[in-house]
Structure 1
Amino acid sequence: MTRQEEKQSLRKTIRALNTQLSSRYRQKSDREIVAHLLAMPEYQQAETVFCFVGTSREIDTRPILADALAQKKVLCLPACLDRSTMVLRQICSLDDLVPGAYGILEPPAEAPLLSVDEVDFSILPCMTCNHLGQRLGRGFGYYDRFLAGYRSSAVLICREQLIREEIPVEPHDYPVPWVLTEVGLYEDGTPARLG
């Protein structure tokens, strides 16, 4: 089996597992992940934050987005222009969000562009990852391209029940140093301090 086939197989497994998670577990894990994230000094000290808008299959990031705006941080979100191009656009209100290319809420086309270099702290999605920060995304490579040019703090957020230690990786797959689940924070695979 090729690495691509391994990834596709794992995506299928995780999609099936994700649908079996109870709504109670989802809500509880979302609340705990958000609380842990908001307690991270790196988040608190960041002036410019990059985050995604969670879909129904992902962690609900709206409380994080609302907090960043309330704290007067510069908040930028991904906007997908095509199958290979993702840009970062700033929002000033959650009301600014509009459905994008994949039906996912994103900033409107007229929202200001930010460069990767302007971001202090990034909160990244994954379908699954391991505690070492090797992630499996949806296969479009948007976040790998982002990480290729990004040099500041980044954290992957994932529900603990979706963590898989065996992640098929390829040379273009960039690990993320911090992984945050409802259980807590991991740094390079080791449980780490929070707050």
Structure 2
Amino acid sequence: MKIKQSIRKQVVEKLKHLTNEQYIKQSAQIAQHLFDSRCWKKAQLIAITIPRDQEVDTYEIIKMGWKQNKIIAVPRADFKTKTMTFYELTSFDKLEESAFRVKEPKESLCRTISKEEIGLVIVPGVAFDKRGYRLGYGGGFYDRFLPQIKVPTIALAFTCQLVKEVPIDIHDWKIDHIISPMGFYR
């Protein structure tokens, strides 16, 4: 557990040192690799999170999804049950800031999406390794959710988020693909 905390701290510190120019450029490169992928082209409904802090910018990805008539689903977390419910997002005006400074859909304004409707999941995280393992923020939301679905999963990562090895526990779930600014890392 201490190793995970150490990796998380090191990567978060590196993310803080990305310049605005690096952040914008690398986010755009990652997004373009995603748009060029078969997974993106094939999926009609994409589950994705709103970025917080220095996560890869997903706003432009969401806008492209809308432009291509894809349905965008964003999760809302229940911290008591450690579960997520996805909602269709049709406008950024339908977001509100909730726990831990996370932007989530306003339940009253967004349609609930069943996990069976999802065609692709963009999985957030702090650090990723070549095997497909990820280090999240420690809540375990995605490690509980991912075993319930049978669709492609992709993580988006800046170069500084790619590590040699993420320590794993029995409940940790592999990501199918990881996209970095250079292309598919996995």
Greater displacement, 103-112 / 118-127:
103-112
> Partner of 2:130: helix, strand, or coil?
coil
What is aligned with 2:101? 103
Does structure 1 conserve the Cα–Cα contact (< 8 Å) formed by 2:155 and 2:179?
Answer: yes
Deviation at 1:56, TM superposition (A): 2.6
> Which whole-Å CA distance do the structure 1 matches of 2:23 and 2:15 have between them?
9
Name the Cα RMSD after superposition.
1.3
What is aligned with 1:92? 90
Q: Does 1:34 align with 2:35?
A: no
Structure 2 letter corresponding to 1:131: K
Query: TM-score, length-normalised on structure 2?
Result: 0.93
> Which whole-Å CA distance do the structure 2 matches of 1:40 and 1:120 have between them?
13
Does structure 2 conserve the Cα–Cα contact (< 8 Å) formed by 1:80 and 1:100?
Answer: no
What is aligned with 1:191? none
Deviation at 1:47, TM superposition (A): 1.0
Structure 2 letter corresponding to 1:60: D
> Which whole-Å CA distance do the structure 2 matches of 1:180 and 1:41 have between them?
13
> Which whole-Å CA distance do the structure 1 matches of 2:21 and 2:131 have between them?
27
Structure 2 letter corresponding to 1:141: G
Aligned length: 184
Deviation at 1:149, TM superposition (A): 0.8
Runs of 4+ residues deviating >6 angstroms? none
Report Cα offsets for 1:59-102 as digits up to 9, x if no partner.
11001111111222121001112251211111112221111222
Structure 2 letter corresponding to 1:85: T
What is aligned with 1:71? 68
Q: Where does structure 2 lack aligned partners over 5 or more consecutive residues?
A: none
> Which whole-Å CA distance do the structure 1 matches of 2:23 and 2:89 have between them?
26
1:114-193 matches, cutoff 5 A: 114-187=113-186
What is aligned with 1:81? 78
Structure 2 letter corresponding to 1:87: T
Report Cα offsets for 1:169-195 as digits up to 9, x if no partner.
0010001110100010133xxxxxxxx
Report Cα offsets for 1:126-178 as digits up to 9, x if no partner.
10101221100000001111112111011011111221011110010001110
Query: TM-score, length-normalised on structure 1?
Result: 0.89
